[in-house]
Structure formats: C-alpha cells, structure tokens
Amino acid sequence: MNPVTLLVAVLSLVAGSVEARRRPQTVDVSRFPNTENPFSRTESLAHSMEKPYLDKNFQSRYYDYGGSTFIRGDKYIRLTPDLPDQRGWLMSKIPSMPDNFQIEVEFGIDGQGTSIYGDGMAIWLLNERVTQEGPVFGLRDNFKGTAIFLDTYKNNGPGKVFPYAMIMHGDGQTSYDQAHDGLANEIAGCSVRGLHNGREGNRIRITYVQGKFLSLETDYRGKHKWEKCFETNQVTINKPAFLGFSAQTGELSEYHDIYSIKVYSLDNPPASYAEVDYYLNGNKNAPIHESYSSHSSSSSSSSSSSSSGWGSFFLKTFLFILVVAGGYVGFTLYRAKQRRERDAFYL
C-alpha cells in the first residue's frame, strides 16, 4: 500500500474511534432506575444472624457452631477468645445460597497483643458442610469450595503487608499453603492494614454475580465507606454452598467476634463491580465500562471520566501518528537506498 494511502486510512480509523468514544462508556445511570434498591436486594433470613442470635431455647434455627465458639446474645458470636490454641466455627445448616448475592459481615478482631497477634478468620462457601475443626483458620484442610481468609499473622508472605485478605478455591484435595500464607492458591488478595482493631463497625462485603465477578470490600475504623479490596472473574461459587465462619489462634492470640451477618440475594444483579461502586457506594468516579443500552449518560461522572479519557486519547493518537510518520520516513529512506543501489548496479 502506498504510504500516503496508509496514512489516510489510519487517520480515518482514528476519526472513527473518536465517534465511538463519544458514546457513553461510563456506568449507565439509567440501568437501575430504582435508586433506593438498585439491585433488588432481598435479605435472605435463612443466612442472617443478628442479636440476640439465638431463640429462647438457646438454639439457632439456621446455624450450628462448635469448637471455641460461644454466643452472647447481647454482644457477639465469639469464634475464639483472646487465648492461645483456640479454634471455633459457625456453619449454616442450609446450603441454599442465592445465585447472586451480597454478604455483609460486621466483626471485630483485637486483643491484648498490640504488635503481634494471630491467626485470623475465614469466611467459607463450602460445597460440603464441614463442622470439623482443623488448621485452616479453625476448620479442616482440603476443603471443597471457596474461602476468603482474613489473615492477621504473617507466616511467610514476602512483600505483603498484614493483615492480608485473600480468596482461594479448594477442590477437596489441594491443601492450604500454610507456610506461605496461602500464596500457592491465592486468586486475589489485598492488604487490610488497620483491620485489627477493637471497634465495632468493621465490615466486609462480598458481592458475587454468577459468570461475572466476585468482589471483596472493606469498611473499618469507623470510616463508613466501602473500599474495594479486590474483584475477580476467576471465582465460581458452586452449589451446594454452605456459608460458614471460623477462626483460630496459635501461640499468639486475638479474639474474633462477629456482630452481625447479613446475606442478600441480588435479583437484578450488577454486571460489574463498577456498578456496585456507582450505585451502592455512590462513587460517581467509578471505573468506566461499556454502556449496556443506548441511553446516553449526562451525569457529571461521564464528563469527568470522558475528559480524562480525552487526554489519554490525544496522547495515544499523537504517539500513533508519530509511529506512522516514522515508518513512512523509514520506508522512503529504504526506497531511496534501494534506488541508489539499483542505479549503482546498472552503472
């Protein structure tokens, strides 16, 4: 192709992409018109636990608990006290997790130890019901299902700041990588520094939408602001799924308390974490993604994200033209050289 023709073709392609970029790529603000309850969240009472946790016969209809766990109806579900070598668990009796869900857990992890403490807490979505104590945050190893670990003690996690949250999928045979804080099977994770503190109001939220994503958010130290720890599309929650919680201490200790568990089904689920951040957290600078409908967005977020988008777009276009121009000069020089050589040959 003639280099000039090539350049013209490239410029028209660039012009075409300008038109494409004008279409909204922000979270579509018209996708969930019900702003009060955008994803049609419905609480699943069969999974929720709130004070006083137990009925008048001191039973829970939907959960079993064991090991070091004890429940004070006016205060907490204490998975472990701040004592060494404790293992405790709480496990749902019913495997019917909704297809798309949010789990919100309010909890507290603290104790006498101010700089070293351990070992941490786990949230389980298990394909088989496990009520057996063991070395993986209080529950037995070789689990089948998905686990999120809030690891407060660094065994050997180079480069990581602890406490550290991570997600792992267990196939029933793979062991938790105890020596390296789960590194061998970590799908996603983040540092949750500051999570070890005694205040009520520490929360985590897990959002799962089948075939789309799973995200973990935290809100601690009384900030009342959800922050993303991670999102991943590498996790599938298989069924049956028993929701469980467990914790353990070793030589070092801390208490692990749960104040409340709330599980919601998302009947009109978000398609991405960006939609959670936009609709539930009110983060109008949520990461942008392709719009789902032809409605155009006129919110301030679209103008702010598109203006930053324009900056990078012009930079990219400039670099692209530079490369094409460079190629053209190179090609011209090459042709001139060839011509000189040919002329030299014929002389």
Pick 53 or 117: Cβ nearer Ca ion: 117
Least Cα distance to 133 among 78, 63, 174, 86 occurs for 86
With respect to Ca ion, which residue has the nearer C-beta, 208 or 255?
255
First to last CA, the chain: 30
Tokens of 331: 């090609």
Q: In the complex with Ca ion, which residue's Cβ is closer, 53 or 153? A: 153
Q: Which is nearer to Ca ion, 116 or 329 (CB)?
A: 116
Query: Which spans of this chain sit near Ca ion (rule: CB under 5 A)?
Result: 151, 153, 155, 181
Least distance from Ca ion to the Cβ atom of residue 196, Å: 13
What is the DSSP annotation of 259-310? EEEEEEEESS--SSHHHHHHHTT--TTPPP---SSSPPP-SHHHHHHHHHHH
Q: How many CB atoms lie within 10 A of CB 96?
A: 13
Question: CB-wise, 60 or 155, nearer to Ca ion?
Answer: 155
Nearer to Ca ion, 38 or 189 (CB): 189
State the minimum distance, in angstroms, from the CB of residue 247 to Ca ion.
12
Other CB atoms closer than 10 Å to residue 130's CB: what's the count? 21
3-class SS of residue 65: strand
Q: How far is the CB of 232 from Ca ion (least distance, A)?
A: 21
We find the least distance from the C-beta atom of residue 301 to Ca ion, in angstroms, to be: 39
Beta bridge partners of residue 109, listed in sequence order: 197, 256
Closest CB 152 distance from Ca ion, rounded Å: 7
128 DSSP assignment: S
Quote the least distance from Cβ 178 to Ca ion, whole Å.
8
Phi, psi of 133 (to 5 degrees): -70, 155
Give φ, ψ of 330 to 5 degrees: -60, -45
